């Protein structure tokens, strides 16, 4: 039996215990995890230093190194995140539908855990705790495979969580951290049919594509975000500047930041110089269509298919002047990743048309795309943002980590 299959068997064994655990038991485990993270912070920092030392040897970029680093303050933040889950309503047992049939059968549809969840993610070690704790609160067993750069931190965090879970009377195998950094392990996880009920990849487009193309277990795709702001003919142009700037520059590295700006031809002449001036404050590089270049001048680079299709995750934007809202929707349909899209408009008809016809997880009127986020939506926490249409779409909170079952109560009904 392979190492990964063994993890699967252990998770299956822990599955029923955590599915049957009371909210009180689960919350006790979460509090124990938070306390243990604080109490054992020196241990975590020591293991994290091993990862950081290797990162330095491998000349990791400063940005990546920063994502990897754990210090006392960050550990306190992670522990706080776990404690916040305690206050969230337990989704398990929630009645989502119920009715009585003509023959007297009472049918109730209730939330139950999914079972065993696999999560593959990259670099940031805080995900080990965030994701593990979320899965636990929703009554699932979880197998976590983090990036090799954070392996020592992840193993340490896993060990601390597992010991804390046991003190709450639950099996430690509710949370398992894959202690191998081999790619074979990732491939095996993708094909762990019979053990994994779902696999959630979080990370680069490359990772997600590899999982989607190779997995035989059900997958929830997350993350890829080629998002747009469309400035309509009737837009409040000052509002459009604020929203476009916020959506592009407030945090360019994340999936709900925009990558392209579409501008109605009748306001382009006025609006493009306004936003270009604002973009200069952040040194945003603009790639423009011929009309954009004509308006903004020759220091603007020319946009090609490639720029419209790229998720820059950086201070870079592609700009296109469009004839009308239909061309904007067409462009989004062609290049968008169905994540978050925004129209700035004063027109009731344009707002309705855009929300009806744009196919994306979140479609905004007059607000920044940066709000697509589980915490901002009020879910308390999120495991990722689904860009697929099955099971969950958009920010995934505790409810999205559940399934349902039908309970049917009768008094002897048989089918005629």
φ, ψ of residue 78 in degrees (nearest 5): -65, -45
Q: In a 3-state reduction of DSSP, which class is residue 199?
A: strand
When the beta carbons of 206 and 378 are compared against a copy of itself, the nearer one is 378
Q: Is residue 3 at the binding interface for a copy of itself, with CB under 8 A as the rule? A: no
Tokens of 289: 């269509």
Residue entry with tokens 């061309």: 327
How far apart CA 166 and CA 164 sit, in angstroms, is: 5
Q: Is residue 206 at the binding interface for a copy of itself, with CB under 8 A as the rule? A: no
Whose CA is closest to 113, among 157, 174, 159?
A: 174
Q: Which of 312, 362, 381, 384 binds a copy of itself (CB under 8 A)?
A: 362
Q: Is residue 177 at the binding interface for a copy of itself, with CB under 8 A as the rule? A: no
Q: How many CB atoms lie within 10 A of CB 59?
A: 7
How far apart CA 67 and CA 78 sit, in angstroms, is: 13
Q: Is residue 55 at the binding interface for a copy of itself, with CB under 8 A as the rule? A: no
Residue entry with tokens 């994306």: 360
Q: Is residue 407 at the binding interface for a copy of itself, with CB under 8 A as the rule? A: yes
Shortest reach from residue 295's CB to a copy of itself, in Å: 24
When the beta carbons of 213 and 298 are compared against a copy of itself, the nearer one is 213
Choose the stretch contacting a copy of itself; rule: CB under 8 A; options: 81-89, 110-118, 121-129, 222-230: 110-118
When the beta carbons of 16 and 53 are compared against a copy of itself, the nearer one is 16
Q: Which of 21, 170, 219, 227 binds a copy of itself (CB under 8 A)?
A: 219
354 contact partners, CB below 8 Å, separation of at least 6: 230, 232, 325, 328, 329, 341, 343, 345, 363, 365
Choose the stretch contacting a copy of itself; rule: CB under 8 A; options: 3-11, 36-44, 100-108, 282-290: 100-108
Q: Are 355 and 365 in contact (CB under 8 A)?
A: yes
Q: Is residue 411 at the binding interface for a copy of itself, with CB under 8 A as the rule? A: yes
Q: Are 332 and 364 in contact (CB under 8 A)?
A: no
Q: Is residue 218 at the binding interface for a copy of itself, with CB under 8 A as the rule? A: yes
Q: Footprint of a copy of itself on this chain (CB under 8 A)?
A: 16, 19-20, 99, 101, 105, 107, 112, 114-115, 193, 197-198, 212-216, 218-220, 236, 239, 242-243, 245-247, 250, 333, 351, 355-357, 359-368, 370-372, 376-378, 388-391, 393-394, 403-415
């Amino acid at each position: 039996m392979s190492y990964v299959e063994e993890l699967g068997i252990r998770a299956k064994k822990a599955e029923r215990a955590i599915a049957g655990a009371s909210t009180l038991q689960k919350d006790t485990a979460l509090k124990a995890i938070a306390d243990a993270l604080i109490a054992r912070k020196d241990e975590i920092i020591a293991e994290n230093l091993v990862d950081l030392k290797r990162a330095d040897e491998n000349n990791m970029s400063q940005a990546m190194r920063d994502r990897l680093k754990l210090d006392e303050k960050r550990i306190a933040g992670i522990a706080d995140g776990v404690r916040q889950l305690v206050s969230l309503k337990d989704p398990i047992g929630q009645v989502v539908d119920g009715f009585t049939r003509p023959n007297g059968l009472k049918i109730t549809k209730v939330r139950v855990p999914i079972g065993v969840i696999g999560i593959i993610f990259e670099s940031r070690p805080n995900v080990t705790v965030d994701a593990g704790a979320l899965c636990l609160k929703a009554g699932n067993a979880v197998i976590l495979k983090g990036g090799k750069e954070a392996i020592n931190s992840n193993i340490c965090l896993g060990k601390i969580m597992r010991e804390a879970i046991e003190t709450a009377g639950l099996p430690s195998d509710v949370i398992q951290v894959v202690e191998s950094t081999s790619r074979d392990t990732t491939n095996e996880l993708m094909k762990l049919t019979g053990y994994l009920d779902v696999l959630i990849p979080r990370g680069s487009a490359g990772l997600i594509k590899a999982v989607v193309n190779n997995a035989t277990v059900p997958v929830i795709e997350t993350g890829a975000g080629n998002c747009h702001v469309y400035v309509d003919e009737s837009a409040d142009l000052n509002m459009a500047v604020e929203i476009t700037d916020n959506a592009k520059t407030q945090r360019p590295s994340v999936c709900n930041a925009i990558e392209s700006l579409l501008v109605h031809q009748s306001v382009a002449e006025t609006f493009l110089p306004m936003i270009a001036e604002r973009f200069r404050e952040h040194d945003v590089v603009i790639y423009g269509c011929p009309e954009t270049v004509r308006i903004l001048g020759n220091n603007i680079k020319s946009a090609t298919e490639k720029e419209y299709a790229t998720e820059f995750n950086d201070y870079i934007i592609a700009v296109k002047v469009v004839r009308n809202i239909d061309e904007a929707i067409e462009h989004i349909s062609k290049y968008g990743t169905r994540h978050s899209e925004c129209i700035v408009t004063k027109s009731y008809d344009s707002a309705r048309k855009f929300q009806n016809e744009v196919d994306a997880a979140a479609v905004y009127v007059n607000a920044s795309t940066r709000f697509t986020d589980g915490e901002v939506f009020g879910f308390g926490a999120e495991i990722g943002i689904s860009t697929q249409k099955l099971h969950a779409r958009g920010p995934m909170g505790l409810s999205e980590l559940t399934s349902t079952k039908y309970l049917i109560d009768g008094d002897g009904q048989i089918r005629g």
